[in-house]
Amino acid sequence: MLLHDLKKRVKQSSVYGVAVALLLSSATVLQAQMAGYPAPRVPDYKKAINATVADLMPIARVIARKPSRRMALSPGYGIQPGERALIVVSNQFDRRVLQAIEQAIIELGGKVDIMLTSADAPGRITGNRGYEEIRLMRLLGPRQSTFVRSGGVKGIVQANLDAGGPGYDIVINGSGGPNPRADYRWEYIPWVTADKFMFSMAGFPFEVQNRVDEMLWDTMIHGRTIHATDPEGTDMTWHWQPEFVSMLREHWPGYPMVKAGHLSAIPLFRSPETADANGVLAGTINHTGTFPHIKLTIEKNEIVKVEGGGEYGKRWREVLEDCKEKGIRFPGFPAPGCGWFEEAAIGTDPWRARDLEADIRLRAHSWERGRSGIIHWGLGVTQNFEYHEALTQWYRENSGKTKGGGSHRHIHTHFTTMDFTNEDGKTTRAIDKGRLTFLDDPEVRRIAAKYGDPDEILSEKWIPSFPGINAPGDYMKDYAADPYAYNHPMMEKLRQEVGWSPEIGGQLK
């Protein structure tokens, strides 16, 4: 059951309970437009703006204790007494969050070295800038290390060993993509601002998180027919083949599930010969921003038509045409082309909220994709290179021959309904109008009750406003033709109300 007014406070003496009590906040509610769709909701961003290190410590203690599993969207550090940790973040990282994590590790008996790397302050953007994803998809975000991917950090660790140092049990660095392969644990630290830290899975009870992920994973791998619809125009059907699980094990070795918090209902970064998705995928948001409504027609797992999308649609069409003309067939894909359906990643984090800078900074919209029920659709040609050096070398030599390179592009849908039908004909609705249904499972609610009121713990902290779907208005006229023109005034008003400033938000130019 969805709650539309989160005003209760959880009072617990445990670490998790304190974190829950800290994070629960009142919600802003508007009248929904379409029956059954959840009304818009925002968390108390002002609490994050004014947070002290002491305020953030309960969350930091949770993340320091969570098991370390190399799950990019749900990291945990699993600190044991005597372990050494290296944290590498850019100089744009919120010092309050960094200090809280450092103290939590020390409280558990760990030792911490911290390195700040240089990074340019992110520049302001205006307008629908989703088209930037074509160019920026393979680049680091504006607040991450200037080192190329993980190579620079690995060099630091090796230099420590070469100089006779003790090395590190865990490296904490990065925010997205496959966790780097190493002889030590490598976990991400994506909370570059306090609002991301407070309104995300960082402080969410791990026992609840893990059970929800397990239920979704089990439903997904035992499903045979998958059907997804969305009021923005998505209507896709495909089949999960039994061999897909072994394909995942091959390309993501060592993972009990691939990957918690971001479970893909198609083999992640693959388009197997037997993949057979057909239908339409539509939306207005990706990693780098918004764009006018786009509609992709998919046949036998490949994009065959791109309609709308403004500049984003134009550039996507150019990439697909260029790749076909040059006849480049990327390894592991069925035929020449750069438009293969290879990701339908479902977020499982009910506490994740939109980045306060989502409409004024590139790549900020990538953060919200992890919220429970949101689907992060990826199409293109890419691979998990960490375990396959031959693939890495092939891409290094060939990806630059096409406009799009060896990458992929995204559409995020926020109000999807997704059904899985198994071989016995039983259908499980995993997502219902954007609500991840496993959050309402009786077992999950019993587990959540250990940490407070399950209604509050299992409610989404943030739900976006879409005219004609969950807010008054006409979807195409008032929103989809120019999403930025609708979102930006709302976000500006919100930032003003909570007291946000460029200095707090990462020193935007």
Phi and psi, residue 209, nearest 5°: -55, -50
CA–chain centroid gap for 395, Å, is 24
pLDDT digits (tens, 9 = 90+) for 279-300: 999 999 999 999 999 999 999 9
- Asked if the model's pLDDT at residue 412 lies above 90, the reply is yes
Task: Give a yes or no: residue 275 inside a domain.
Answer: yes
Question: How many CB atoms are located within 10 Å of the residue 148 CB?
Answer: 9
**Tokens in use for 323?**
């790749």
- Asked if the model's pLDDT at residue 442 lies above 90, the reply is yes
| CA distances from residue 26 to 41, 450, 464 in whole angstroms, order as listed | 9, 21, 15
- pLDDT: which is higher, 28 or 320: 320
Report the alpha-carbon angle 355-439-479, nearest 5: 40
- Asked if the model's pLDDT at residue 44 lies above 60, the reply is yes
- Asked if the model's pLDDT at residue 148 lies above 50, the reply is no
pLDDT digits (tens, 9 = 90+) for 424-437: 999 999 999 999 99
| Domain span at 431 | 17-54+193-509
CA atoms within 13 A on the CB side of 5: 3
For range 400-404, the mean pLDDT = 82
For range 131-146, the mean pLDDT = 57
Task: Give a yes or no: residue 138 inside a domain.
Answer: no
Sorting pLDDT into bands at 50, 70 and 90, what band is 314? very high
For range 21-33, the mean pLDDT = 47
Q: How far apart are CA 373 and CA 406, in angstroms?
A: 28
Q: How far apart are CA 392 and CA 410, in angstroms?
A: 22
Q: What is the dihedral of CA 496, 499, 502, 505, to 10 degrees?
A: -110
pLDDT at 105: 98
Q: How far apart are CA 131 and CA 305, in angstroms?
A: 17
Task: Give a yes or no: residue 326 inside a domain.
Answer: yes
Task: Give a yes or no: residue 164 inside a domain.
Answer: no
Task: Give a yes or no: residue 245 inside a domain.
Answer: yes
- Asked if the model's pLDDT at residue 99 lies above 60, the reply is yes
Residue 492, amino acid: E
For range 334-341, the mean pLDDT = 95
Q: Where are the alpha helices (DSSP H) in 167-299?
A: 194-198, 206-222, 244-251
pLDDT at 501: 85
pLDDT at 137: 64
| CA distances from residue 180 to 110, 148, 184, 260 in whole angstroms, order as listed | 22, 12, 10, 16
Buried b (16+ CB within 10 A) or exposed e, 410-436: bbbbbbbbbbbbeeeeeebebbbbbbb
pLDDT digits (tens, 9 = 90+) for 358-399: 999 888 888 999 999 999 999 999 888 777 888 888 888 887
Task: Give a yes or no: residue 507 inside a domain.
Answer: yes
* Segment of 21-25, 326-330, 349-353 carrying the highest mean pLDDT: 349-353
Poorest-confidence range of 258-262, 327-331, 430-434, 504-508?
504-508
Task: Give a yes or no: residue 180 inside a domain.
Answer: no
Q: How far apart are CA 175 and CA 222, in angstroms?
A: 30
pLDDT digits (tens, 9 = 90+) for 187-233: 999 999 999 999 999 999 999 999 999 999 999 999 999 999 999 99
CB–CB of 161/167 below 8 Å?
A: yes
- Asked if the model's pLDDT at residue 334 lies above 50, the reply is yes
Task: Give a yes or no: residue 135 inside a domain.
Answer: no
pLDDT at 28: 41
Poorest-confidence range of 61-70, 157-166, 385-394, 424-433?
385-394
Q: How many separate domains does the chain show?
A: 1
